[in-house]
Structure 1
Amino acid sequence: MKSVIRNGPVLKQLLDACKSSKFVTLDLENDTVKKFHLTPIGKMLKNNLREEFYRGESGTELYEGSSELSLMENLRFAQETFAVSLPFGMAVEDRFTGRNIQLSETHQMELERGSLLTCSYFINPATSKEFMYKAQRQRKIWWMRFACDPGRYFISDPRQDSARRIQSVNIRARFGDEELTLEQLELIPGDAMWEQMRGFQAKAGRSGKKITPDVVRISQCAEVATLGVILDAAQSSEENSVKIHRRLAPFKCGIVCMTEDPIQLEELRDLARHLTTVIRRVNLAVLDCSRQTTGTSNQRSLTKQLHHLDSIGVPYSLLLREQSLQNGLLQLRSRDTTISETIHISDLPHYLLKIITS
């Protein structure tokens, strides 16, 4: 993905740049994104984003609901199965087709298929405003934590639907003079949810008294959120290096063999397969590139493989040399610094897991 000039219609330039990325395909007609599709790498990025989104707000139990059930049916299941008490949350993924989404004041997206991720938190009305304020700050920090440019993210001015007394804010990202809406937070009074909750009540506090909760609902379109991460990386990354955060990166590590000896190459490939298995056992996605090494023109092959790993946002690369077979020492290269450190094979995968999840 080519770097983008930081003046003029930045969002349009970034969307144009995405056409050459490894994560999405799209057409841009005037100010409308059409034929938007995630590549297999892009789908892995979306899945990682979804997992992080569903980790929930700190200190609040979050249960997984079903989009095939009504809200009341999900609540009844949670109450009967887990004996829930306030506060608690319910996460649901709704799939949709044929929807137009407003990205910014000037740009929209036509989505053939998409997913709406929602976390609904059921809160004691006495503390719901405090929870809403805390949640919007946490959501802004969540986006900043995974960003190349944390300063682009902000909370919009609050709005209120006077008829139903629903308060809402958006988490947005600035790209030049335009603002991309990434997700929405709403504080909904319990009586405004009466029909959907059908009189649902839950225990609150130590008294065990049952009350009708308010709802703080956080929602994002998974495809728009994924596009937002890619746009942030496109504006901030250098050419041929997509600096997606290590926790979101589709692959956490790539393995590259470095030798011009065909016999040694086969032994290094065996080592690469072993390391791939070891790393996957701790649930880290790893890309074994050892079969792309030909045993000739080693430096050119290495450069090509590292460029490929950088272009799909892989944060770390393990470089296996002939000496690795004798002393067990490997080179761990960082995508962001291009600096390599020496580690021993016995330190994998725990060292890699530590730096990925930190």
Structure 2
Amino acid sequence: MEQILKFLGPTFLTLKEFGFIYGIQGMLVRRNLEKLWFEECVTMSKYNVFHMPSTSLWSCMKDLTDIGADRVPFGIAELDEVTNTWNTSFFPLKSKPSKHRIAKITTVYESKGDILSVKDLFYTKQRERKSWWRQMSENPSIYYMSETKKENGKEYAEIQAQFPFGNIVVETINFKNSAKKLLPGVENGERLKIVEQVVSLDWGCLAFLCDGYIEIKGSKEIQMHPKLVAYKAYCKAIIAPEDDESTRQDLNYLTSYVIELLREKGVESVNVNDIKNPEHFKVAYIITVDSESLKSGLVKLVCQRTLCGEIVHITSMAKRMYDLCVVCKVTE
């Protein structure tokens, strides 16, 4: 793991005894992971999921009750910074628990005399969440669900990513037989059960970075799903020896224009005209322009995961990249 992080460099992630230190690219990877989680678990949920700050959870629940929006099932989404004992084997024994950012969904169900119906939902969530991690992975088989365990009045299972250096827990799914602590004022609290999904965004980010690391014939690279990478693309000019200074300037202007079009469309991209080592930006796609592009308006788009290329007109480039990296389904 240390070798992978060293290869990626401080622009991605450094793991210290006291927690996660992100660079300019790593911070965006975590933000993208959080965005994907929010879309999947909150925006596209089959039932109402309300985003609440953990510091005012009870008052927000009272507001839901007052407006009659507390009909079960419903969910509560929280984003928080916590200090707990996730993946302690990766830190020295005497070090303090690391601080990391979590994303949590607490779903409240009503048991109508048959607790098995709620437990079925607990197991359904396990399958759904394991599938979600696998869909974004370069190596889906590394993500697996642990056996269900019981502890402190709850049942839980963990989604772990298996690596040669050890397993990383990225998410826990909990079943609680009572919602009285969450909803102390509700009359039928005894019949309400809770299924809780807790994702560590930091440990998940680390897992995806390690998952995407590959070595082929001595060459090292990182490959990630287009929706996860920090920057989706950069554009570079292919300058031929016979190109004069005017052509070179025009090509540089064209690369900047392509980046401007992508940014206007909401596609994260980086301008590398004045950057000495653009390969340090692990983008999903590389766009190249040459002197023929100035005449025809055609540019080349190459996917770094598959190394497959296509020719796209500059007027269609931004929409094509948007379709590939922003609105595409995770399974693509």
TM-score between the two structures when normalised by the length of structure 1: 0.78
CA contact (8 A) 1:121 1:215 kept: yes
What is the match of residue 133 of structure 1?
123
What is the match of residue 338 of structure 1?
307
Structure 1 residue corresponding to 2:249, chosen from 247, 258, 266: 266
What is the match of residue 14 of structure 2?
25
Summarize the Cα distance change of 1:352–1:212 in structure 2 as closer, same or farther, 3 Å threshold: same
User: Larger deviation: 276-285 or 109-118?
Assistant: 109-118
Summarize the Cα distance change of 1:211–1:348 in structure 2 as closer, same or farther, 3 Å threshold: farther
* Alpha-carbon displacement from aligned partner over 1:330-357 (angstroms, at most 9, x marks no partner): 0001112333211111222222222222
Gaps of 5+ in 2: none
Summarize the Cα distance change of 1:41–1:200 in structure 2 as closer, same or farther, 3 Å threshold: farther
C-alpha separation in 1, matches of 2:238 and 2:270 = 16
Q: What is the Cα deviation at residue 168 of structure 1? A: 0.6
Q: What is the Cα deviation at residue 265 of structure 1? A: 2.9
Q: What is the Cα deviation at residue 45 of structure 1? A: 0.5
C-alpha separation in 2, matches of 1:20 and 1:256 = 23
- Secondary structure of 2:54's aligned partner: coil
CA contact (8 A) 1:257 1:268 kept: yes
What is the match of residue 46 of structure 2?
59
How do 1:169-188 residues align onto structure 2 when only pairs under 5 Å count? 169-176=157-164, 178-188=166-176
Structure 2 residue corresponding to 1:247, chosen from 206, 227, 230: 227
What is the match of residue 26 of structure 2?
42
Query: Looking at both structures, which has the greater relative contact order when contacts are Cα pairs under 8 Å and sequence separation is at least 6?
Result: 1
What is the match of residue 256 of structure 1?
236
What is the match of residue 296 of structure 1?
none
Determine whether 1:228 maps to 2:207.
yes
Given residue 28 of structure 2, which amino acid in structure 1 is its aligned partner? M
CA contact (8 A) 2:19 2:100 kept: no
CA contact (8 A) 2:170 2:204 kept: yes
CA contact (8 A) 1:118 1:218 kept: yes
C-alpha separation in 1, matches of 2:67 and 2:131 = 33
What is the match of residue 140 of structure 2?
150
* Alpha-carbon displacement from aligned partner over 1:2-57 (angstroms, at most 9, x marks no partner): xxxxxxxxxxxx23331231311235xxxxx5564111211110111111112244
Q: What is the Cα deviation at residue 140 of structure 1? A: 0.5
- Secondary structure of 2:197's aligned partner: strand
- Secondary structure of 1:40's aligned partner: coil
C-alpha separation in 2, matches of 1:95 and 1:150 = 28
CA contact (8 A) 1:63 1:78 kept: no
Summarize the Cα distance change of 1:200–1:285 in structure 2 as closer, same or farther, 3 Å threshold: farther
C-alpha separation in 2, matches of 1:231 and 1:349 = 30
Summarize the Cα distance change of 1:241–1:68 in structure 2 as closer, same or farther, 3 Å threshold: same
C-alpha separation in 2, matches of 1:112 and 1:179 = 17
What is the match of residue 308 of structure 1?
280
CA contact (8 A) 2:47 2:74 kept: yes
Q: What is the Cα deviation at residue 247 of structure 1? A: 1.0
C-alpha separation in 2, matches of 1:68 and 1:221 = 19
CA contact (8 A) 2:180 2:190 kept: no
- Secondary structure of 2:55's aligned partner: coil
Summarize the Cα distance change of 1:114–1:180 in structure 2 as closer, same or farther, 3 Å threshold: closer
Summarize the Cα distance change of 1:214–1:246 in structure 2 as closer, same or farther, 3 Å threshold: same
C-alpha separation in 2, matches of 1:223 and 1:252 = 21
* Alpha-carbon displacement from aligned partner over 1:107-144 (angstroms, at most 9, x marks no partner): 33756643122111122325422221111111101111
Count matched residues: 310
How do 1:339-354 residues align onto structure 2 when only pairs under 5 Å count? 339-354=308-323
What is the match of residue 286 of structure 1?
269
CA contact (8 A) 1:56 1:119 kept: no
Summarize the Cα distance change of 1:83–1:337 in structure 2 as closer, same or farther, 3 Å threshold: same
- Secondary structure of 1:323's aligned partner: helix
TM-score between the two structures when normalised by the length of structure 2: 0.83
C-alpha separation in 1, matches of 2:175 and 2:196 = 7
Gaps of 5+ in 1: 1-13, 28-32, 203-209, 293-300
Given residue 255 of structure 1, which amino acid in structure 2 is its aligned partner? C
What is the match of residue 10 of structure 1?
none
